[in-house]
Structure 1
């Protein structure tokens, strides 16, 4: 049998490639975005308790009402924004499933979707699988800011969706209030849907605020917000997240959601609902990860790597142009094989493979791991020359 691939240019994700390479060469893995420390034992106990209390059959299709109530309370507490727990919040199998389902529910053949590159690698394939066309707006190093005039010039009658990500993966930058007001202005009185990927909303540094799409009334009226418990509570393997949107949008989302997932692991939902009764479980995350960012950067401050401290997420990008002119994919593989330190090259996040000599490192690791990684980076800075 012969078939034409619907994604002919898509192979194995760079995250799988680099993690496999790290395992093969016993390298420290700062490539894929997952912690190497345990989730809170209290949360694990609550999930186990839910299993033993017989929360083992299907959860309601939109998710456990207890968990949706906890999420609704969080949005009211943090952003003074209301999402109705019954009609405007749905629990998903991670944020990636939420993003895929949103796109599947709304994007038709030839619809245009504006995305900002470098972009997380699940965005474009989901659009293309549904026949949509990605309109790419570049974010240039070192600031990765959005040129809103360029965005405006790329909006057309075919524009169906604009996808944003703040805090941003891979760059670690955050959108400002000014950015969100510009987006609100550009989309006002249109049928454009905004998909706001906010999985790192609680991981933000240096006194900055997370400018959620829900804080801006007209923007909220046209936006989906996607989020991840795995990123928030250090258990990415649980694959559980959620999305929020006005009822008219969420009704369409659930039409698709019920047929590609239906519902998500019930005992985990119950455990998370109980755990979130204490807001400190997510309010302390910024300080927790800022300590790790600051430790990592202090240890490599005297190297030839150039950087701006990450504003949010648990990623730090480092420019190695003063060390080598090697292509970033080759350089990342060299560091993994020869120096036993794995990272992600940023060129893979661009369709044109734009190479700015930048690597992304995940600092959601134990302090001991970060110290060992920093020692390697110091050695690389000394040993590798043009």
Structure 2
């Protein structure tokens, strides 16, 4: 499945077009929309429990906050700095990448961005020309296809499901490849499914990309959030031959509970990073210096705070999967990474629930919010209708209460 780049209506003269076709085609982030609605209802006094946003409920570790406080007091941080990032942060990212991934790069291969979303868009914008195709495994994070289209590319979806643990095969990727294919997206651990590719599976996909001369964009934002026997694998470290056509996206948001600080980065070939830096120099200039100073403390410090959060996420992971699988008609594979559960709710659709018969996961999500005041994101947002995404990055008590409400509601389902 692919989507063409939006084109303006030629029957309308340019001066009469109010919003460009390119921007008008962008859908609102479904995850942020659900989260905003849940927060608005909660602010109005409703007992809403939100599973929408992928946002750790932990505060940013104290030592990182203190670094930001000190940075605020230093006048050098009150001024413009290099558009591509503070040299000290670039050096820290180089050291962190070698430590955590075994991937050796230098500072000229790093661009510091305003979060992971800017990193993804600028990476695609730097390498895509109109009509270039990007293979995107689905379920996918909502921003990937939007960024591809905004950069002029064409997203080509390759769909997986719960029967394969939400992982695509090389055979599926090859079936989607055409002469216009330029990039394959590789995400492990995955948002929204929590799927983690084994080392052998990752190597097979990497070798396939290398064989066909394709670019790989790999999003490593959840690298430290893996559970059980699962392990994180960095493709360019595993296959050094990929490095010349591999772009790595990462950031501090998930690992260090820093979603609001907005610091991400792109690692890639020097010419691509230079091009993306030129783009950023006109779009936003430098990332907030205070946030960059905090990020230096984050990536340079140890991972003890991360390990504590991962222990809590692992506990919640087991709880939510158990509770979801207790619901008749719901099938939830156990996620091996990130902090999301992605159950199939196809067995519930079409059944009568409090006088309504939801036919889609979007309708079911709306019914759940209206009837028991629990917010989840429907699978339509991730390219696979028939599913719901639950972020378990929220407190244990809220998790049990929220899924308990859904258990009670869906327990009323009748044919």
Q: Same fold (TM over 0.5)?
A: yes
The aligned residue for residue 39 of structure 2 is 23
Flag the 1:83–1:324 CA change in 2: closer, same or farther, 3 A. same
Flag the 1:282–1:339 CA change in 2: closer, same or farther, 3 A. same
The aligned residue for residue 125 of structure 1 is 146
Asked whether the equivalents of residues 46 and 275 of structure 1 are also in contact (C-alpha less than 8 Å), the reply is no
- Gaps in structure 2 of 5+ consecutive residues: 1-14, 351-357
In the TM superposition, residue 44 of structure 1 has moved relative to its aligned partner by 1.5
Find the partner of 2:392 among 363, 371, 377. 363
The aligned residue for residue 267 of structure 1 is 290
- Give 1:159-170 correspondences, 5 Å limit: 159-170=181-192
In the TM superposition, residue 217 of structure 1 has moved relative to its aligned partner by 0.8
The aligned residue for residue 184 of structure 1 is 206
Using the alignment, how far apart are the partners of 1:73 and 1:17 within structure 2? 36
Using the alignment, how far apart are the partners of 2:23 and 2:284 within structure 1? 22
Bigger RCO (CA 8 Å, 6+ sep) = 1
The aligned residue for residue 291 of structure 1 is 315
Q: Secondary structure at the match of 1:221?
A: helix
Aligned length: 381
Asked whether the equivalents of residues 187 and 218 of structure 2 are also in contact (C-alpha less than 8 Å), the reply is yes
The aligned residue for residue 349 of structure 1 is 382
- Give 1:172-211 correspondences, 5 Å limit: 172-188=194-210, 190-211=212-233
Flag the 1:128–1:324 CA change in 2: closer, same or farther, 3 A. closer
Post-superposition Cα deviations, 1:81-134, rounded to whole Å, max 9, x if no partner, equal 2111x2111211011101101111111111111111221122222222333222
Asked whether the equivalents of residues 275 and 281 of structure 1 are also in contact (C-alpha less than 8 Å), the reply is no
Using the alignment, how far apart are the partners of 1:131 and 1:272 within structure 2? 31
The aligned residue for residue 337 of structure 1 is 370
The aligned residue for residue 105 of structure 1 is 126
- Gaps in structure 1 of 5+ consecutive residues: none
Find the partner of 2:243 among 216, 220, 227. 220
User: What is the RMSD computed on CA atoms of the aligned residues?
Assistant: 2.1
Flag the 1:79–1:131 CA change in 2: closer, same or farther, 3 A. closer
Q: Secondary structure at the match of 2:186?
A: strand
Using the alignment, how far apart are the partners of 1:123 and 1:78 within structure 2? 24
290-299 or 190-199, which deviates more: 290-299
Using the alignment, how far apart are the partners of 1:383 and 1:73 within structure 2? 54
Find the partner of 1:306 among 323, 331, 338. 331
